[in-house]
Structure 1
Amino acid sequence: MKTKLNIITAVVLIFLINFYYRSFTFYYSTIDWDELTYFIMGKSILDGFLPYRDYWDLKPLGIYLVHAFTLLFFDYSILTMRVSAYVFSSILAVILFISNYRKRFKESLLISFVFLYSFVYYSSGLASNTEIYFLLFEAISFYLLFVNEKVNVTQKSIAFFVLGIAFIIKYIIVFDVILFFLAALVFSFIDERIKKSGSVFEVFKKIFYEYALYVFVFLSPILITITVYLHLGSFDSYWNSILAVGKNHVRISTIYEKLEFIFYLKYFYLFSFFFVGYHFYTTKRFKLERGAAVAFVWFLTSSLGAAWTGFLYEHYLLAVLFPILLFISFVVFDFDKTFGKRIVIRAILLLCIVGVFIFSIRKRNHIAKTLNSIPDEGLFMADAIRKITKEQVSGQGYFFVASGSHAPYVILDQLPPVKYIQPNNYLEKTFAVNFAISGEKVISDIIKKKVNIVTWCNSKSIHEILTQKKGESEFSQEFVLALQTYLRNYRFESVQIQRDVRCTLYYKRG
């Protein structure tokens, strides 16, 4: 009874604390542009469109399906997108708590709060990024494979199936997948040898057939996806999207840049190595339990995945936070062996809890103040589109986001008039070149759709971009030139948005 009450208490506290951390973001339209893209792609699926054929983005299908599933039950709004991230991150913290609860209640709750605080500290963790979603499925898989003391074939099958779901949310976790398979395989072999269930050959044969099943179960989500695309006659669209990301979506970064990026988590590394060193010193045994050993290697493989593509975005580091905190907790919560039962140690633990809350409140309030001081570009542009549609445009306003936040697509419940949802894909030279996106084709599509409103939010105007030297510009001048020609030939008028001087709205009268 006490155990159930403790778990219920912990779950309630985790959801309340995470609500406090995230509540100020619930209606803000733009924290990270990627999250908007995933959400819009989810909406397109429910509207009967096929990802990669009708609408395109460079992420795997899984993240779009997660949002499509959410939209089956909730409305298409910024709030739904934020609540989705809130729920998934809260459940993730609950799994972290349960993974450690077998040893300590207060300590397990503390590590979950530290985890939620780290999502605030690395502020892109407040967005609905893929890391929150695939981490949840990875965490479930880890728990079933390496935390449960007795794991049967059914549990392992579930573990590898949810790992397969994590994989179709983001392919870069392939290094984690290899680790989970190898670790589970080695532990299975050791357990069978301990039970003396047969010769080495017989044990190997038994495990081979068992893990052939797990490989099939792991691959089933992607096999189902392939089957659907083959049935719809669009497998080429799906396969080419995978090849495009694998072959083209890379950025040249030096080893030093990647290491510098990874060591942005320096405090987590510092504490982990300190606790491990102290643990070995006090226990006099240089051996980790299975869960701790796998968690340690997991944070190494997730670090490798975070830096692999060379695009060193902060939210990639979120994937490293869960395994490293899991590792720290597994080692530190061997509490009596490592620290003993001295009162001074308990006092230090209490100070740590107080310290986490003080720093988290300060950080949360600082980010809230900062966010509120930044113009909500997506909301302003949506308001401007409503106003210009009512006053200057006859009929329904059909708009195209040429530059800036594509949040208006969500706020005004419209899908983009072009195949490419995120403006960066056709505006930024890196993306346009990597994915061979034709700016002229993009403009051709908006002409066919009879767009009558175009939004532009950028620190540089269209004219300024076109006057830059071609080799020095970070923008696709081919797209910008095609856009300028289109706006001129179709006689668009312009109005500057007073609430954000970087934003201009172009419209056709009548």
Structure 2
Amino acid sequence: MKKLFPSTLYTSGPIRNGLVFLLFTLLAFFLRYPSFGYTAIDWDEITYSLIGEGWLQGKLPFRDLWDIKPIGIYIIYFIIHGLLGFSIFAIRLSTLFVVVCSAFIIWLLLRHSNRTFAIAAGFGFLILFSFFLNGLSGNTELFYLCFETIGVWFLFYGKKQYRLLSPLAFGFAFIIKYNTAFDILGFYLLHLYLHRRILFRNPKSFLGYSLFYSVAILPFLVSTIWVFSVGLGDSFLETHKILFSNYAKKVTFLEKIGSLQTYPILAILVSVQMGTFVLYLWKKKVPKILLISFLWTLTAFLAATWTGYFFEHYYLPMIVPTVIGSSFLFRFIKSNFFPKYKQEIIVLIAFLILIPVAVFVRKRVIKLSKVYPDIAKEIYVDIENQKVDPRPVFVAKGTHGIYSLFKQIPINRVIQPGNFTDQSNAKAMFIDNEEIKLKVIENKPGLILFCDMDVFQNPISSYDASWNQDLLVFYYEYIRKEYQYFKTYFPNCHVYLKNGLLSR
């Protein structure tokens, strides 16, 4: 048994830490590698990628390339493409590193209070995160979750001289996505509660705690000062006006609770965690990390549902606290029913359960390309086979992952096509139709991608009120006059090439 589980896994030191990190990396690579060649698992990741690469090319976010997300995610992709180049592979490699870091912090958080299942919890997190389609993408949740786990570690368990890293990590999480405020506030309130005796003995110490917590605002202040100093203030304020006025949808609290039934695996985990918390509460011996994870799940749920939209990736941050909390059920079972079993045997049993689950999840990831065809890549290959260079390309409607394959920044300021072709989105986002028309006319794209409606086959009367009528009439007339249809494998995504391009 010692050969299977070296003593270095259970003793302190850099060798042990490095070995655990390596194990997590190998599992993450095993699970996620089949998705590395997929162009756009989620359209948001392509938006961030294009803005990050555009920034490297001198096109500033908010002004030259626009979306409504906070600046932190653009900084992340600015760094990714600056270090690894402008490619889909760079995104996939970065997401692998980030989820491994999150798993490693989970292990750090559990290694003292639930040592037997700490590694298994890290493995469980990697498996669950890869099970969800959006868990494979480079979305905001994946990155801010890593910063949050780092912040939790330094706030509740870090050495005193490094504790300032906690609010800084929370601050970076906040500028990636603002709904992290729910989690951060919850962590701070719990931290105050755990230090209540100090506060009661010395009420003036509250000022020191407040100053410490306020460090979290520094990343936002610094980034905002930079935004205004380079003349992006108006565009920056425009995005925040949209974000806080037009974006949220009104739903009841019961509807939010009911949204969990859409994700049954997560709902089961939440139920297990809550039941486990009640068990330990009944025993009057609640470990600190179990209490943290309980509150974290509640705040993560509030963050996931605050907009009223129940997208899968909104719920992904709940995986970390639910995995941490659920792991204590196994500790409870072991200590109460199998106390004589050695730690190594229990770990072996846990791994024998997790390994086939990991194989199942990997097979599910492999099926990704079959269930969700890589439309952008297929179209790109078809164009490449014609030995023509259609750049600049323009996505009027459909997958904008094709920009990444052609190594091109969009010609238009608004990145996501769904924001200007859908009437409700165009209205909510204050889309300037004339600006988009002008960009198309000036740049004369060699390829226009237009999904959901074939302008050569469908009459203009086919457009209903859900479309941005003014802009779509322009597309209809412009494409019919200047372009020819290029047949691809996908009947619902239509490619139009500039007249004469194929004859060159």
- When structure 1 is superposed on structure 2, of 10-19 and 368-377 the one drifting more is 368-377
Aligned equivalent of 2:206: 207
Pairing 1:409-424 to 2, within 5 Å after superposition: 409-424=403-418
Give 1:331 shift: 6.4
Pairing 1:56-205 to 2, within 5 Å after superposition: 56-148=66-158, 151-152=159-160, 154-191=161-198, 193=200, 196=201, 203-205=202-204
Aligned equivalent of 1:23: 33
Aligned equivalent of 1:36: 46
1:435 pairs with one of 407, 423, 429: 429
Per-residue displacement from partner, 1:168-212 (whole Å, max 9, x unpaired)? 00001111121122222333342354xx5xxxxxx2223214422
Aligned equivalent of 1:494: 485
Give, as a single letter, the amino acid of the residue that structure 2 aligns with 1:164: G
1:345/1:65 Cα in 2 relative to 1: closer, same or farther (>3 Å)? Answer: closer
Aligned equivalent of 1:200: none
Give, as a single letter, the amino acid of the residue that structure 2 aligns with 1:419: R
- 1:225 equivalenced with 2:232 (yes/no): no
Distance in 2 (CA, whole Å) between partners of 1:23 and 1:106 is: 28
TM-score with structure 2 length normalisation? 0.89
DSSP-derived class of the 1:125 partner:
helix
Give, as a single letter, the amino acid of the residue that structure 1 aligns with 2:71: L
Aligned equivalent of 1:310: 308
Aligned equivalent of 2:471: 479
Give 1:406 shift: 1.1
Aligned equivalent of 2:496: 506
DSSP-derived class of the 1:505 partner:
strand
1:242 pairs with one of 240, 243, 256: 240
1:452 pairs with one of 440, 446, 454: 446
Contact 2:120 2:347 in 1 (8 A): no
Aligned equivalent of 1:45: 55
DSSP-derived class of the 2:410 partner:
coil
Distance in 2 (CA, whole Å) between partners of 1:276 and 1:188 is: 21
Contact 1:275 1:332 in 2 (8 A): no
Give 1:356 shift: 2.4
Per-residue displacement from partner, 1:483-510 (whole Å, max 9, x unpaired)? 1122234x2111121x222222212235
Aligned equivalent of 1:296: 294
- When structure 1 is superposed on structure 2, of 14-23 and 435-444 the one drifting more is 435-444
Task: Name the count of aligned residue pairs.
Answer: 486
Distance in 1 (CA, whole Å) between partners of 2:300 and 2:208 is: 29
Give, as a single letter, the amino acid of the residue that structure 1 aligns with 2:59: F
Give 1:110 shift: 0.7
Give, as a single letter, the amino acid of the residue that structure 2 aligns with 1:485: E
Distance in 2 (CA, whole Å) between partners of 1:347 and 1:94 is: 22
Give, as a single letter, the amino acid of the residue that structure 2 aligns with 1:136: C
Distance in 2 (CA, whole Å) between partners of 1:438 and 1:415 is: 19
Aligned equivalent of 1:378: 376
- When structure 1 is superposed on structure 2, of 262-271 and 294-303 the one drifting more is 262-271
Distance in 2 (CA, whole Å) between partners of 1:225 and 1:320 is: 27
Contact 2:32 2:365 in 1 (8 A): no
DSSP-derived class of the 2:496 partner:
strand
Aligned equivalent of 1:359: 357
Give, as a single letter, the amino acid of the residue that structure 1 aligns with 2:454: S
Contact 1:42 1:67 in 2 (8 A): yes
Give, as a single letter, the amino acid of the residue that structure 2 aligns with 1:132: L
Distance in 2 (CA, whole Å) between partners of 1:137 and 1:274 is: 28
Distance in 2 (CA, whole Å) between partners of 1:351 and 1:466 is: 63
1:461 pairs with one of 454, 465, 479: 454
1:210/1:483 Cα in 2 relative to 1: closer, same or farther (>3 Å)? Answer: same
DSSP-derived class of the 1:430 partner:
helix
Per-residue displacement from partner, 1:324-357 (whole Å, max 9, x unpaired)? 2222335654777555514499877644432222
DSSP-derived class of the 1:454 partner:
strand
Q: Gaps (5+ residues) in structure 1?
A: 197-202
Give 1:261 shift: 1.8
Give, as a single letter, the amino acid of the residue that structure 1 aligns with 2:308: G
Aligned equivalent of 1:408: 402
Give, as a single letter, the amino acid of the residue that structure 1 aligns with 2:476: Q
Aligned equivalent of 1:10: 20
Give 1:256 shift: 4.0
**RMSD between aligned residues:** 2.5
Contact 2:301 2:318 in 1 (8 A): yes
Per-residue displacement from partner, 1:464-498 (whole Å, max 9, x unpaired)? 59545734x3x333322221122234x2111121x
Give 1:229 shift: 1.8
1:274/1:209 Cα in 2 relative to 1: closer, same or farther (>3 Å)? Answer: closer
DSSP-derived class of the 2:485 partner:
strand
Pairing 1:317-356 to 2, within 5 Å after superposition: 317-329=315-327, 332-333=330-331, 338-339=336-337, 341-343=339-341, 350-356=348-354
Per-residue displacement from partner, 1:446-471 (whole Å, max 9, x unpaired)? 2122323211233x434659545734
Distance in 2 (CA, whole Å) between partners of 1:296 and 1:172 is: 18
Q: Gaps (5+ residues) in structure 2?
A: 1-7
Distance in 2 (CA, whole Å) between partners of 1:164 and 1:80 is: 25
DSSP-derived class of the 1:320 partner:
helix
Give 1:424 shift: 1.2
DSSP-derived class of the 1:506 partner:
strand
